[in-house]
Structure 1
Amino acid sequence: MDTEQAKPAISKVTPLQQMIASCTGAILTSLMVTPLDVVKIRLQLQNNPYSKRRCFLYCNGLMDHLHFCDEGSNKAWYKKPGRFRGTLDAFSKIIRNEGIKSLWSGLPPTLVMAVPATVIYFTCYDQLSSFMKSKVENEDYIPIFAGIIARLGAVTVISPLELIRTKMQSKVFSYKELHLFVKNKVSHDGWISLWRGWSPTVMRDVPFSALYWYNFEMFKKWLCKNSDKYEPTFGINFTAGAMSGSIASIVTLPFDVVKTHRQTKLWKYDIPQEIPFQDMYPKEGQNTVPTSTWNIMKQIVSKDGISGLFAGLIPRLIKVAPACAIMVSTYEFGKTFFLQQNLKKQEIHTSALVLK
């Protein structure tokens, strides 16, 4: 049999393999970045620790999460901060007094949301990019559109899960009680209420995604060209991921500041058990607390000036840039690995057909 006739179509990475690669990347990123955020929170709160039943914001560079302070429970990872003189001192004292596992005490709640969100996001991006490349000639703007659609999809799917997960953290709930909570919320406020907080998240994450993927592809091509590489290496992907993540972080920081302000209004309130979850958020006009993005921006600018919209830039860069670099380089490495395995299987299959 002729070799050309026996050769099957070029193997590609399957959606399942893309999901495995993105899942591995999300887990690895969380493992490496979580200790930094645990230490950061302990340092920030040592002068003003949270009391029980208060809320605080946690972010590992991939996603941010709202948590209730339930110190003392078996599932709680928030602990009294202690007295630290700096980052290295915090690392050493936490390891010495609480054990090295305490540096990853925020890992479980991170993985619950970060892994499925990242799997959906990266897999959708790759699938959309491949589809668009087969339909259009100019590929320069494909990363922007694919990044926007993929992020919209991921945020939309995860938002109701985030609401339910936060509710579960507020106290111990049985599945029956949780089902009753969702049923009552939908009956009173409609299905749209399950996507509360979707708008500010989209305003921050969608521009970030568009900028990130466009710059990542551009930096990757530029680095390959200047290093005489036909295919990007792990180092090229890592560098491109860090650079594109840094740019996207800077540009979208005002929306991140607004989202944080909106969420951390909860910090001013104790959360008694009898307050319904859907009523915990203070509403605009009831407590003179602005909730719209524009009003919050105006409040920040009037109080702190334009620089207030870029508060926390350095900590965000320190956390997000390496998280983006680790995630995308691990993901691309995983895809390369699976592609090589697929090509080997294809060669074996071709050789078997030729021998026949």
Structure 2
Amino acid sequence: MKRSSETSDDSLTPSQQMISSCSGAILTSVFVTPLDVVKIRLQAQSKPQAFTKGHCYLYCNGLMDHTCVCLNGNTVNLSVNAKSWQKNWYKRPGNFNGMFDALYRIGRNEGITSLWSGLPPTLVMAVPATVVYFTSYDQIKTALSHSYNIPVHTWWIPVVSGSSARVFAATVISPLELIRTKMQSEQLTYRQVREAVRTTIQQDGSLSLWRGLAPTLLRDVPFSALYWLSYEMMKAKVMKDGQSTKLSFVESFVSGACAGTLAGIVTLPFDVIKTHRQIELGEVVFAKEKKEVSSTWKLIQNLYRQQGIKALFTGLAPRVMKVAPACAIMISTYEHCKLFFRQRNLELQENR
């Protein structure tokens, strides 16, 4: 069977794929971060007890989750300590009446840059993770297509490629995220971090650096498999119906949003479990004394016993509102950048 050349990335180098995915990750972070800043500020004013000193909360911008800690129970005067004020951006006061009111009043009273207060940790961790993930996906997809001489949109290729790429990216990034979380909790220097890592390995073994990987994969692997399957199928359908050799920016944007929405809805129970598990693991990292971490299965049992089956399907609207635009911006930017490099490579070949 002949491969579908219009969806192949043979003409792109790994570095060009990495630049494309990096561009998409940065653009997605810039666009989606204000929504999560507003969400956290709304949560802080409705449930201030959830942000007391030493407690953890989950920050997510649609690309990557971050377990964060409330380092100071008191708000800080900007004129006294600007660094501490920036650190505790989620503690700033405000009586907001909803998302749009919060967007307007934060921008007017605190400066427009306050809407991007949570951006630095995202750029430090999410961009490298996204680059590894998307580049791995394209490399695995192309290799499988070559090996079996079939189109890249054959249903099992995006499923295997997406799952494998997610496992690889999460495994590579997991120790870095754990170290970053530890640095945030205790404000450690790089030398102290090295000592903390060495002590952790001596006490709990090397696998302790991948603590929390299992609940991450529990959600992200099914999401990746379903997302890439849906996207590649919609992509092939649009290109076949339109007899086109490439997707337009709008077509990839809509396809990405639809695929992200479908995957987000189906994998919502995994997301709920992963959120609870990640916060629990974060509190263990922040704790001064040893705490026991319950198993993922025990967490599922506790949720079901306390709140019933509905506990596994909470937060559907916020998840879709975040995942859909994040997936749409990411994939459309990624595809558009790859198209730019394909055309550039073709021009260079013709000029030789």
TM-score normalized by the length of structure 1 = 0.87
> Unpaired segments of 5 or more residues in structure 1?
1-9, 285-290, 350-356
Which residue number in structure 2 is paired with residue 59 of structure 1?
A: 60
Which residue number in structure 2 is paired with residue 6 of structure 1?
A: none
Which residue number in structure 1 is paired with residue 329 of structure 2?
A: 326
- Structure 1 runs of 4+ off > 6 angstroms? 266-270
Provide the C-alpha distance between the structure 1 equivalents of 2:137 and 2:259, rounded to a whole number of angstroms: 16
**Does the residue aligned with 1:111 lie in a helix, a strand or coil?**
helix
> Unpaired segments of 5 or more residues in structure 2?
1-8, 77-83
Matched, 1:161 2:160: no
Provide the C-alpha distance between the structure 1 equivalents of 2:311 and 2:53, rounded to a whole number of angstroms: 29
Deviation at 1:300, TM superposition (A): 1.8
Deviation at 1:105, TM superposition (A): 0.4
Which residue identity does 2:202 align to in structure 1? S
Structure 1 residues 186-205: aligned runs within 5 Å: 186-205=201-220
Deviation at 1:267, TM superposition (A): 8.8
Which residue identity does 2:132 align to in structure 1? I
Deviation at 1:235, TM superposition (A): 1.2
C-alpha change, 1:11 and 1:217, in structure 2 (3 Å) is closer
Which residue number in structure 2 is paired with residue 105 of structure 1?
A: 117
* Deviation digits for residues 71-97 of structure 1 (CA, Å, limit 9, x no counterpart): 542651433342111111111111121
Matched, 1:132 2:144: yes
Structure 1 residues 12-161: aligned runs within 5 Å: 12-49=11-48, 50-71=51-72, 72=76, 73=84, 76=87, 77-139=89-151, 140=154, 141-161=156-176
Rg larger in 1 or in 2? 1
Provide the C-alpha distance between the structure 2 equivalents of 1:199 and 1:81, rounded to a whole number of angstroms: 36
Matched, 1:210 2:222: no
Assess if the C-alpha contact under 8 Å between 1:54 and 1:270 holds in 2: no
C-alpha change, 1:74 and 1:84, in structure 2 (3 Å) is closer
Assess if the C-alpha contact under 8 Å between 2:68 and 2:282 holds in 1: no
Identity rate, percent: 54
Greater alpha carbon shift after TM alignment, 219-228 vs 174-183: 219-228
* Deviation digits for residues 126-169 of structure 1 (CA, Å, limit 9, x no counterpart): 01111111111444111111111110000000000000000110
Deviation at 1:239, TM superposition (A): 1.1
Matched, 1:299 2:308: no
Provide the C-alpha distance between the structure 2 equivalents of 1:100 and 1:52, rounded to a whole number of angstroms: 27
Greater alpha carbon shift after TM alignment, 142-151 vs 51-60: 51-60
**Does the residue aligned with 1:108 lie in a helix, a strand or coil?**
helix
Provide the C-alpha distance between the structure 1 equivalents of 2:265 and 2:243, rounded to a whole number of angstroms: 30
Which residue number in structure 1 is paired with residue 314 of structure 2?
A: 311
Assess if the C-alpha contact under 8 Å between 2:171 and 2:213 holds in 1: yes
Assess if the C-alpha contact under 8 Å between 1:55 and 1:69 holds in 2: yes
**Does the residue aligned with 2:148 lie in a helix, a strand or coil?**
coil
Deviation at 1:293, TM superposition (A): 2.3
**Does the residue aligned with 1:58 lie in a helix, a strand or coil?**
strand
